[in-house]
Amino acid sequence: MSSPAITRFAPSPTGSLHLGNARTAFFSHLWARKTAGRFILRIEDTDVERSQDRYRAELLDDLAWLGLDWDEGPDVGGPSAPYRQAERGEFYRSLFERLAREDRVYPCYCTAQELELSRKLQRMAGKPPRYAGTCRGLSVAQRAEREARGLTATLRFRVPEERVIEFTDLVHGPQRFLSDDIGDFIVRRENGSAAFFFCNAVDDSVMGVTHVLRGDDHLTNTPRQILVLEALGLRLMQYGHVGLLIGADGAPLSKRHGSTSVRDFRQRGFLPQALLNHLFHLGHTAETDGFLELARMPRYFRPDHLGRAPARFDEVQLVHWQKVSLARASTDCLRDWLGTAVTPPPGLDFDAFVELVRHNAVLPADAVPWAEAAWGRLAPLDAQTQQLVREAGPAFFSAALRAYDESAGDWKLMTASLRERTGRSGAALFMPLRAALTGQRHGPELAPLLKLMPAAVARARLQSHAESP
Ligand code: GLU
Ligand code: ZN
């Protein structure tokens, strides 16, 4: 077994947990579990304008719902607390002071408009837009003059010249960047808060993270983060940048594909096991393609089998895993699951209903027609169904009612008795019964359905087609 991996998930609470992020959290979790390492949860909420408490609470709740428990982080604490970056300002300030003393950072007084204009000019000249270095060489007097005018400053990292930054990405292999292609970037915002490039990297390092898994979109951020860590003399992590999730059309998974967040799927009634089993195979070549409980997944997780190609999220696959998960779920679990969509009348054997729909529903909403058939109000019969009932005739239903009473709702006894009374059998017997009892020509098996149908409901349905009493 390889040495313990300290991994982390570092979400920004600026929205609901996206499936793509849930996947990197999941893989990081599996890696830690596989190697008996640790999985850290850190909330990156220094951007006070975009971060929201409600998203933070949702994030924790969705991760817990998926079963991705963390060894260090909010709620559980740990040796590197606090785990909310909003509470780590003091620590960042001490590092900024150090960087300033060593002249590795400098204040930048450029306004948003000035920066925009500069980028525009660079683009027009056919160059990639980056910070032009306007404030790089300001003298102490020039800085003082700007401060006196009441200008506020961001803090920029002084990117060293003519440096080659190399690292081996766990997924993408050897990487090489030139520092001269990187503009001096912001490490502290105008309001004094630490910016992403900075606090993300230093926290990973000081929290002891060994392996960072994150989305591809961060690959080009890595050389900047390495420069920051080097300037501070901090330990580097290994990075693995995994391919993004795409929708059926090949575009990055986004709102226009429908559900994209864990919460969306959760609210629709997908089970966590279904989501995890689908995510497990997205951009990850596992050693098995069978269903796995979360506890068994670390064994089959192969960090060296993570792919760089975008992985296609496919709801058809998800539905497949949902069916497998439903078939395996306990009655208790399914009772809660169904309880969100249907409310049984008092005294009804709900467990029997749960077992009935287990193999006939994908989402709780699919159970609604079944609940209606079992104890609800039937919609008016369509023409063909009505025809079936009419053809059987009132005498048939009067006989059915007697057979029902005699057999106390036991389907086998009831139909045997009805066969004798009416001489009907096969479809001629079952179809009109199904039509009268469920309002449908197709649907659930009648034996279990009838068993859980309240007697008053069953009698009323048969009575409504029988001879008048
Ligand atoms: N807070 C960053 C994000 O959500 C973290 C990126 C990373 O994993 O390094 O994009
Ligand atoms: Zn500037």
pLDDT in tens, 246-257: 998 899 998 888
Domain containing 462 equals 331-469
Task: Quote the number of domains for the chain.
Answer: 3
pLDDT of residue 469 exceeding 80: no
Q: Residue 442 — pLDDT band, cuts 50, 70, 90? A: confident
Q: Which atom of ligand 1 is nearest to the CA of 204?
A: 9
CATH number at residue 227: 3.40.50.620
pLDDT of residue 276 exceeding 80: yes
Q: Looking at the structure, do residues 343 and 446 belong to the same domain, yes or no?
A: yes
Cβ–ligand 1 contact at 218 (below 6 Å) = yes
Q: Which atom of ligand 1 is nearest to the CA of 24?
A: 8
Cβ–ligand 1 contact at 11 (below 6 Å) = yes
Cβ–ligand 1 contact at 18 (below 6 Å) = no
What is the rounded average pLDDT of the residues 334-341? 93
Q: Looking at the structure, do residues 218 and 101 belong to the same domain, yes or no?
A: yes
Q: Is residue 326 part of a domain?
A: no
Q: Residue 1 — pLDDT band, cuts 50, 70, 90? A: low
Three-state DSSP string of the chain: CCCCCEEEECCCCCCCCEHHHHHHHHHHHHHHHHCCCEEEECECCCCCCCCCHHHHHHHHHHHHHHCCCCCEECCCECCCCCCEHHHCHHHHHHHHHHHHHCCCEEEECCCHHHHHHHHHHHHHCCCCCCCCCCCCCCCHHHHHHHHHCCCCCEEEECCCCCCEEEEEECCCEEEEEEHHHCCCCEEECCCCCECHHHHHHHHHHHCCCCEEEEEHHHHHHHHHHHHHHHHHCCCCCEEEEECCEECCCCCECCHHHCCCEHHHHHHHCCCHHHHHHHHHCCCECCCCCCCCCHHHHHHHCCHHHECCCCEECCHHHHHHHHHHHHHHCCHHHHHHHHHCCCCCCCCCCHHHHHHHHHCCCCCHHHHHHHHHHHHCCCCCCCHHHHHHHHHHHHHHHHHHHHHHHHHCCCHHHHHHHHHHHHCCCCHHHHHHHHHHHHCCCCCCCHHHHHHHCCHHHHHHHHHCCCCCC
What is the rounded average pLDDT of the residues 418-427? 96
Q: Looking at the structure, do residues 216 and 127 belong to the same domain, yes or no?
A: yes
Cβ–ligand 1 contact at 214 (below 6 Å) = yes
For ligand 1, pick from 18, 43, 46, 196 the residue to mutate: most ligand atoms within 8 Å of CB: 196
Q: Is residue 323 part of a domain?
A: no
pLDDT of residue 281 exceeding 70: yes
Q: Looking at the structure, do residues 186 and 238 belong to the same domain, yes or no?
A: yes
Cβ–ligand 1 contact at 12 (below 6 Å) = yes
